[in-house]
Amino acid sequence: MIRAVGLDLVELSRVRGVLARHPERFLTRHFTPDEVRYCRTQRDPVPSLAARFAAKEAFQKCWPQAHGWRDVWVVRDGAAPRLAFARGLAQAMHEQGLQAHLSLSHSRDHAGAVVVLEERPPEP
């Protein structure tokens, strides 16, 4: 059963502006080293950074408590992205029987993410 849905849309121009003014501070505050490393392998890292930023915002819209920017991050399983969580958040998700589903997208001007929190059936 679906527990919550979160959606976020980010303008690439805003990410470019923040990166121009505070590049290292923005990257280290909002992203894990693996996220930054992956995004820097892209021809233009901004769409990938913006999509990950949107994923973190979309998850926060589903989650009832505040958390840190680096408590949620995007990893890739093959071609599909998924969310990973810091220990406390992962434990809370497990205790509540929740699984997060993630979809990322970007265009020339925007990046977006949708997060769906699904209740898993109890294990026998």
pLDDT tens per residue across span 92-118: 999 999 999 999 999 999 999 999 999
86 DSSP assignment: -
> Number of C-alpha atoms within 13 angstroms, CB side, residue 49?
28
Spatial CA neighbour of 6 closest among 50, 52, 59, 51: 59
Separation of alpha carbons 8 and 102, rounded Å = 12
pLDDT digits (tens, 9 = 90+) for 19-50: 999 999 999 999 999 999 999 999 999 999 99
Per-residue confidence at 123, pLDDT binned at 50, 70, 90?
Answer: low
Going by C-beta distance under 8 Å and a sequence separation of 6 or more, which residues neighbour residue 87? none
121 DSSP assignment: P
* CATH of the domain spanning 2-119: 3.90.470.20
Q: pTM score, two decimals?
A: 0.94
Separation of alpha carbons 60 and 111, rounded Å = 17
